[in-house]
Amino acid sequence: MGPPNKPHSQVTVSDLINPATRDWDVSKIKLILPFYEEKILCFKPSLTGAPDKQVWLATKSGDYTTKSGYYTAVTRVETRQDIPTDNGFKWRSNVWNMQCAPKVKLFSWKLLKGAIPVGERLVQRRVPADPRCKRCGCSESILHLFFQCGFAQRVWHLAPLNTDMDFRGIIDLMSSWETLCSLKCLPPAGIISGSLTPWLFWSIWKARNKFVFEGHSASPEETLSGAIVLAREWNTEVKKEPLTGIRQLSAPVLTHPEATVIRSDAAWAPGSNIAGLGWVLLSHSGNQSFKVPLKSVASPLLAEGLALREAVRSCATLGLNYVAFESDSLNLIKAVKLEVTIAELYSVIADITSFASVFEFVSFSWISREKNVLADCLAKEALNVSDTLVVGDAFIAPN
Ligand SMILES: [Zn+2]
């Protein structure tokens, strides 16, 4: 953006929000950041004052995952240079598809890439550190720490592995990796699937850090049993996993006999970022329809969310007590029920939850598009009323 001018050098995002309406102060945006007006207005601030939240932009949920972090990093590197192929090392089968915890896979990858901050690596990277092994005083390289140091040798010697391999002879980790990971773990260690080897590396590294940073020196026996316990726990956890998925699917849908059913929908015009929001209250005494157009809406999903937010808000204003909201957007319903996290819906979901807290009974459920024709028509009508567009608190037109 370039340097700000003097009167606006201390301005923060909150200065662009009107504290009374909790929506953007358009006149201030026009004054301070005129070229970004549409971009800014596409972010919908929470109307109920939801707390700020940090989100990671490379995932839909806004939560950081090592996978997305890895792809982001790789994409950046790829645009600069070709990635060396590591002599055909099979990263997928040798590391990423290993039968062990994700944190251990990531650690193995770092280990193979030489990206573990051992003394020697730190000094090579000009970090002021002691390059010596804290246990024996030799230069602490990756090979020393994991194979050559007396401590590591003792761990490997004790490990219940079906081998008479001399681990001191390993001079290249990558070319020995497959052999190391295919070593069978002898009973009664209880490790049925997967290899004990990556857990041993993990445990040796943890023991080293505990010694270096906390002064606690675990014995080789403790280090080994730590690795076995973790591997065994992971084995049992993985076996339990499929059960939890089934429980979620069979959760019953609650209803209330007196509940008013409210169906909402949105129509969205991609080029102009204009949305039409529509919702209808179904009751025995007759239906009530609402529609409202809205500017600066960045996506159809956000439009669906804003339609539901308006529906919930209007029902709260009408003083209804028993309400059942329905939408044909499955992602939106999942997000409201907190089954999934969607970063772009954060403020909208927070508002829906906040507005809905006044009802004695409230439910949110998904319906098919065929069932949502009334709300769909209202939303489309609202989209066509383009000459009366307003931002934020738009007009509500009961039919
Ligand atoms: Zn040593």
The CATH number of residue 310's host domain is: 3.30.420.10
Beta strands in 126-202 (DSSP E): none
Q: Is residue 217 within 8 Å of 203, Cβ to Cβ?
A: no
Count: domains in the chain: 3
Residue 300 Cα to ligand 1 midpoint, Å, equals 59
Residues 334 and 313 in one domain: yes
* Residues 381, 291 contacting (CB under 8 angstroms): yes
Q: What distance in angstroms lies between residue 112's CA and the mean position of ligand 1's atoms?
A: 19
105 and 200 co-located in one domain: yes
Give the domain-ending residue among 225, 248, 271: 248
What is the domain extent for residue 160?
86-248
Same domain for 244 and 266, yes or no, is no
Q: Let me know if residue 374 belongs to a domain.
A: yes
Same domain? 239 vs 97: yes
Tell me which of 248, 274, 299 is where a domain ends: 248
The residues with which 362 forms a beta bridge, in sequence order, are: 323
User: How many angstroms is it from 178 CA to the middle of ligand 1?
Assistant: 25
Task: Tell me, yes or no, whether 91 and 224 share the same domain.
Answer: yes
Q: Distance from the CA of 342 to the center of ligand 1, in angstroms?
A: 48
Tell me, yes or no, whether 224 lies in a domain: yes
CA of 124 to the centre of ligand 1 (A): 18
Mean pLDDT of residues grouped by 10 in the chain (399 residues)? 77 91 93 88 91 88 89 69 64 87 93 92 88 93 94 92 80 88 78 84 95 91 93 78 42 70 92 92 87 92 96 94 94 91 93 93 92 93 64 39
Q: Ligand 1 centroid to 211 CA: how many Å?
A: 12
DSSP for residue 293: E
In a domain, 77, yes or no: no
* Span from the CA of 5 to the centroid of ligand 1 (angstroms): 58
Helix-, strand-, coil-residue percentages of the chain, each rounded to 5: 50, 10, 40
Residue 370 lies in a domain: yes
* 140 CA → ligand 1 middle, Å: 7
Q: Which of 248, 282, 303 is the last residue of a domain?
A: 248
Tell me: do 94 and 158 sit in the same domain. Answer: yes
Shared domain check, 346 and 264: yes
Strand ranges (E), 284-378: 288-294, 322-327, 361-366
Give the distance (Å) from ligand 1 centre to CA of residue 204. 12
Q: Are 369 and 275 in contact (CB under 8 A)?
A: no
How many A from CA of 206 to the centre of ligand 1?
15
Q: Looking at the structure, tell me whether residues 198 and 113 fall in a common domain.
A: yes
Give the distance (Å) from ligand 1 centre to CA of residue 194. 28
In a domain, 233, yes or no: yes
Has residue 394 been placed in a domain?
A: no
Q: In angstroms, what is the span from residue 173 Cα to ligand 1's centroid?
A: 17
Do 168 and 212 share a structural domain?
yes
Same domain, 133 and 33: no
Ligand 1 center from residue 134 Cα (angstroms): 7
Distance 107 CA to ligand 1 centre (A): 20
Say yes or no: 99 and 228 in one domain: yes
Task: With CA atoms as reference, report the closest residue to 264 among 318, 332, 322.
Answer: 332
Distance 150 CA to ligand 1 centre (A): 6
Residue of 139, 142, 163 whose CA lies nearest to 152 = 142
In-domain check, residue 80 = no
Give residue 143's pLDDT.
93
What is the CA(3)–ligand 1 centre distance, in A?
53
Question: Are residues 309 and 379 part of one domain?
Answer: yes
Q: Is residue 395 part of a domain?
A: no
> Up-side HSE of residue 242: CA atoms within 13 Å toward CB?
1
